[in-house]
Amino acid sequence: MALDQIWKQQLALVTYGNEYLAQDLSFNHWLKHQVFNQHQIQFRDLLSQHLLAQHFQIWLEHLKQQGVRRLSLHQASILNDEKNPNPNVELLPFAHFIVSHEAQHKSAWIFGKELAEWYTAEQDYMAPVSQQSELRQEVMWRYQLNHKLARQLDTDFASPNWDEIDRFIRSELFLNPCATEFVEPEQSAKPYFGVDLTQNATESMYPTLALIPADYPAAYAHQMLYQLDALDQFIQNKIQHPYHADGTELEPSEQLNLRHFSQKLEDLHAKFITKVANHYQTAQLTPVQTPDPFESTPSQVQNIASPQIPTPAATHKVGTSAVIKLILMTVVICAAAYYFGL
């Protein structure tokens, strides 16, 4: 099961939202970001169910007025032991939730849906297609975190080692036997946009923006997001069409391994998104410097050009010293022999 694509809207809200809160980034720059096309997100209070904001611009402007200093993204597993305080709202099992940081407390913003009092069926009611909206409508519900939960967020704020993250992801995912036939997409310097630009009807109307602000050297984040997307698509296609490249069907054990690998991929993908959201400003690898074999330092050139060859004088000194030692040893042996009557 792949991640719900709502993580892209969450990532954009956190990263661009932080630039607005901390750097006064104008909404004119990103209000029409293509990742929000066909999406309508409202913001409500989980306890009172009151509508707080009907659009993320209103939401962010009010958060700033309240003294919110930053936004962060975290994995929903942190809330596994929490009980939903409002039975009239069903909190959705998405992989992440947003946290707003005020001076005295932190609030979680969790996707969920309000339940209709008169509709009790387990399945969602489906209106006729002609009456359905093309917009994806979602609601984020505010829930104030207690001190215990707030402290659990601190692990996501530790500065990540991107080199170690890259080595681990490649070892666990791209070098896994399930990814043997996977071909990584060609590397390019383009940023990660979060949408298929070939299907983005508004591309010609508004400038296309990266999913995270492009003012930082975060090339690794963009590159790995592309690669994880491609690997996920490859695995999902493999699950739906379980055949080898030669046309033979996968064994049942191989299909089971694929499903287990898909779960691991989803888990690491979600963790990587969390790191990018909270540390996008530093998401780059350490450059690997390979020494040029055709270039040498002056000292190396001197050592190569002038090898240490023993001089005749030095050779003569070594020989003279050895002869003197031999004479002295002979005298000592003879004296000892005479003394003992040999």
Residue whose token pair is 């042996």: 333
Q: What is the pLDDT of residue 1?
A: 58
Rounded Cα–Cα distance for residues 319 and 200 (Å): 88
- pLDDT value at residue 308: 55
- pLDDT score at 223: 94
pTM exceeds 0.75 for this model: yes
Give the three-class secondary structure for 188: coil
**Whether the Cβ atoms of residue 140 and residue 111 lie closer than 8 Å to each other:** yes
pLDDT at 262: 97
172 Cβ partners below 8 Å, 6+ apart? 264, 268
Distance CA(235)–CA(318), nearest Å, equals: 74
What is the model's pLDDT at position 202?
Answer: 47
Report pLDDT for 206.
Answer: 65
Quickly count: other Cβ atoms within 10 Å of residue 211's Cβ: 25
**Euclidean distance between CA atoms 168 and 177, whole angstroms:** 15
d(CA 191, CA 188) in angstroms, rounded, equals 8
pLDDT beneath 50, residues of the chain: 202-204, 314-315
Q: Which residues contact 139 (CB under 8 A, 6 or more apart)?
A: 41, 42, 43, 44, 111, 112, 113, 114
Q: 142: how many CB neighbours lie within 10 A of its CB?
A: 20
Mean pLDDT score across all residues of the chain: 88
DSSP secondary structure code for residue 117 in this structure: T
CA distances to 299, 306, 308 from 302, rounded to whole Å, are 5, 6, 11
Structure confidence at residue 246 (pLDDT): 86
